[in-house]
């Protein structure tokens, strides 16, 4: 591999228990190579988040200022600068006792150099297998190196996470552990805090990382660790080495949740030109379909409301709209016909006074009249307005008819009891004995 490029992704999460994320991470491309760093502030100590940020910033500034090409010397100088800054900040009364771990890597071409102080780790994943390349500065690791406990016992040993070396907590500069790995195409370099590897075995770490973009791999590791445990902060920085001498396939984006519309190339048959017009129409219908559905629903709602109000208002009288006599006047004419028939049966004659017709009044005569007299008066009003109905009687004839009608009604009143209330329907009078 003559020349390489390094693709980096990172992720961090506070977890489910702690309120402050005491982890810090960073990445930069300097003149001396690609630099990655993860710091884990001392949990339970004052201002652990401040210590991790100070160490990260100091290490990155040191690498940027470096001119030497020796990777080990650059990393030792970066760790020493971080130690100096953290120890100086820990002298403040409100920052006393703070500390942090650090794991950092410098990649130059295909060679990766890793340094660490504390229990933050570095892994290299190759061919689906993860290999730890750093050594923890814990008392549990010392017991393992001395052969007192086994690797299986270390996982549950009470001194597994007890640090004997960290930045800011020793009077002299710590001695970082260094390792070098020759990377090949497709290798992953993983730097992480203990919140990640405490939840994930190396096999699971490789499974969630292999074959995908480093940014997606970092998100997978952090999400899985938080869902599985989440008691500690989780932070990971992942770099992948790619050979630029070989053509690289374009990374596929995340698959969308909905089915994408067919493209012109996908709809074209082999050996035939693509139907651009048909494809355009199909896309247009797919775009307009939701709007048409909404318009149809609104139209249905408006029609239902209009029908409801029309039913409440009742049917519309077409005669009123055309200016013809209404049903009331027609009913009055039929009532007049009934009244005339009743008058003929009793031998009396009736006609409306001309004055009442001219004035359009519907008042009843002074003498109490049967119910049909009211309708006759209304009929007379309608006749005066429309010019229809019977011809007006003379004054003399009207007087005679009124006298005869009074006599007939007096006879009727003696033959039957008075009605309880007036009725708008015409009642034929009973014949006098």
The pLDDT, as a whole number, for residue 247 is 44
Tallying the residues shown for the chain, one arrives at 433
| pLDDT score at 135 | 93
Instruction: Describe the crossing of helices 371-386 and 327-346 by its angle, rounded to 10 degrees.
Output: 130
Whether residue 56 has pLDDT greater than 80: yes
> Among residues 85, 30, 32, which one has the least CA distance to residue 56?
85
pLDDT confidence tier of residue 328, bands split at 50, 70 and 90? very low
In three-state form (DSSP H/G/I as H, E/B as E, the rest C), the secondary structure along the chain is CCCEEEEEEEEEECCCCCCCCCEEEEEEEECCEEEEEEEEECCCCCCHHHHHHHHHHHHHHHHHHCCCCCHHHHHHHHHHHHHHHHHHHCCCHHHCCCCEEEEEEEEECCEEEEEEECCCEEEEEECCEEEECCCCCEHHHHHHHCCCCCHHHHCCCCCCCCECCCECCCCCCCCCEEEEEECCCCCEEEEECHHHHCCCCHHHHHHHHCCCCHHHHHHHHHHHHHHHCCCCCEEEEEEEEEECCCCCCCCCCCCCCCCCCCCHHHHCCCCCCCCHHHHHHHHHHHHHHHHHHHHHHHHHHHHHHHHHHHHHHCCCCHHHHHCCCCHHHHHHHHHHHHHHHHHHHHCCCCCCCHHHHHHCCCCCCCCCCCHHHHHHHHHHHHHHHHCCCCCCCCHHHHHHHHHHHHHHHHHHHHHCCCCCCCCCCCCCCCCCC
**Alpha-carbon gap, residue 279 to 272, rounded angstroms:** 14
Confidence of residue 335 (pLDDT cuts 50, 70, 90): very low
Among 71-75, 307-311, 372-376, 414-418, the minimum mean pLDDT is found in 372-376
pLDDT digits (tens, 9 = 90+) for 100-124: 999 999 999 889 999 999 999 999 9
Q: Please check the confidence at residue 76 and state whether its pLDDT lies above 90.
A: yes
Tell me the CATH class for 4-243: alpha beta
Average pLDDT of span 137-144 = 92
The domains of the chain are located at 4-243, 325-415
Looking at per-residue pLDDT, the higher value among 276 and 149 belongs to 149
Mean pLDDT of the chain: 74
Instruction: Specify the range with the lowest mean pLDDT, choosing from 68-77, 297-306, 368-377.
Output: 368-377
Q: What percent of the chain has pLDDT over 70?
A: 59
- How confident is the model at residue 205, as a pLDDT? 95
pLDDT beyond 70 at 278: no
pTM beyond 0.75: the answer is no
Between 356 and 121, residue with greater pLDDT = 121
Report pLDDT for 311: 81
Distance set, CA 13 to CA 7, 57, 204, 232 (Å)? 21, 19, 19, 9
Per-residue pLDDT of 143-153, as tens digits, reads: 999 999 998 88
Query: What mean pLDDT do residues 76-92 have?
Result: 92
pLDDT value of residue 339: 47
Q: Given a cut of 90, is residue 370 above it in pLDDT?
A: no
Lowest model confidence (mean pLDDT) among 286-300, 303-317, 322-336: 322-336
pLDDT category, 424, cuts 50, 70, 90?
Answer: very low
With 50 as the cut, is the pLDDT of residue 423 above it? no
Mean pLDDT to the nearest integer, 75-88: 94
pLDDT at 400: 61
Question: What is the pLDDT, as a whole number, of residue 402?
Answer: 64
At 389 the pLDDT is 44
pLDDT digits (tens, 9 = 90+) for 223-270: 999 999 899 999 999 999 886 455 444 443 333 333 333 343 333 443
Instruction: Give the mean pLDDT of 378-391.
Output: 44
Mean pLDDT to the nearest integer, 361-366: 42
Q: Specify the pLDDT at position 156.
A: 86
**pLDDT value of residue 148:** 92
Residue 272 has pLDDT above 50, yes or no: no
* Per-residue pLDDT at 416: 55
Higher-pLDDT residue of 291 and 65 is: 65
How would residue 314 be classed by pLDDT, with cut points 50, 70 and 90?
Answer: low
pLDDT value at 59 more than 50: yes
Look-up of token digits 């429309």: 386
pLDDT at 329: 44
The two tokens of residue 287 are: 């775009």
Mean pLDDT, rounded, for 202-227: 94
């Amino acid at each position: 591999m003559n020349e390489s490029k390094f693709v980096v992704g990172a992720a961090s999460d506070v977890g489910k228990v702690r309120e402050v994320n005491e982890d810090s991470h960073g990445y930069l491309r300097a003149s001396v190579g690609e630099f990655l760093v993860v710091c884990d502030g001392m949990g339970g100590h004052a201002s652990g988040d401040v210590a991790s940020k100070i160490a990260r910033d100091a290490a990155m500034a040191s690498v940027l200022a470096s001119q030497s090409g020796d990777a080990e010397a650059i990393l030792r100088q970066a760790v020493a600068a971080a130690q100096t800054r953290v120890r100086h900040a820990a002298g403040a009364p409100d920052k006393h006792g703070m500390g942090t771990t650090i794991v950092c890597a410098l990649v130059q071409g295909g060679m990766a150099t890793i340094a660490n102080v504390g229990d933050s780790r570095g892994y290299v994943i190759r061919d689906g297998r993860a290999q730890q390349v750093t050594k923890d500065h814990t008392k549990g690791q010392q017991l393992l190196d001395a052969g007192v406990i086994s690797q299986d016992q270390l996982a549950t040993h009470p001194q597994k996470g007890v640090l004997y070396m960290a930045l800011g907590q020793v009077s002299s500069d710590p001695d970082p552990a260094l390792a070098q790995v020759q990377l090949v195409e497709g290798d992953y370099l993983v730097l992480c805090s203990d919140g990640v590897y405490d939840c994930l075995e190396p096999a699971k770490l490789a499974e969630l990382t292999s074959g995908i973009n480093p940014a997606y791999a970092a998100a997978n590791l952090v999400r899985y660790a938080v869902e599985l445990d989440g008691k500690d902060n989780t932070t990971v920085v992942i770099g992948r080495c790619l050979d630029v001498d070989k053509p690289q396939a374009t990374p596929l984006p995340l698959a969308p949740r909905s089915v994408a519309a067919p493209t012109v190339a996908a709809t074209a048959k082999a050996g035939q030109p693509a139907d651009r017009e048909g494809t355009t129409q199909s896309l247009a219908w797919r775009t307009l379909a939701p709007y048409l559905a909404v318009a149809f629903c609104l139209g249905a709602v408006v029609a239902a409301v209009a029908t409801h109000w029309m039913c409440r208002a009742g049917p519309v009288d077409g005669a009123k709209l055309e200016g013809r006599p209404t049903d009331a006047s027609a009913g009055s004419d039929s009532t007049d016909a009934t009244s005339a028939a009743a008058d003929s049966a009793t031998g009396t004659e009736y006609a409306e006074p001309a004055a009442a017709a001219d004035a359009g009044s519907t008042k009843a005569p002074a003498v109490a009249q049967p119910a049909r007299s009211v309708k006759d008066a209304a009929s007379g009003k309608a006749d005066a307005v429309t010019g229809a109905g019977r011809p007006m009687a003379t004054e003399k004839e009207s007087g005679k008819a009124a006298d005869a009608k009074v006599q007939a009604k007096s006879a009727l009143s003696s033959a039957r009891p008075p009605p309880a209330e007036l009725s708008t329907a015409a009642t034929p009078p009973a014949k006098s004995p």
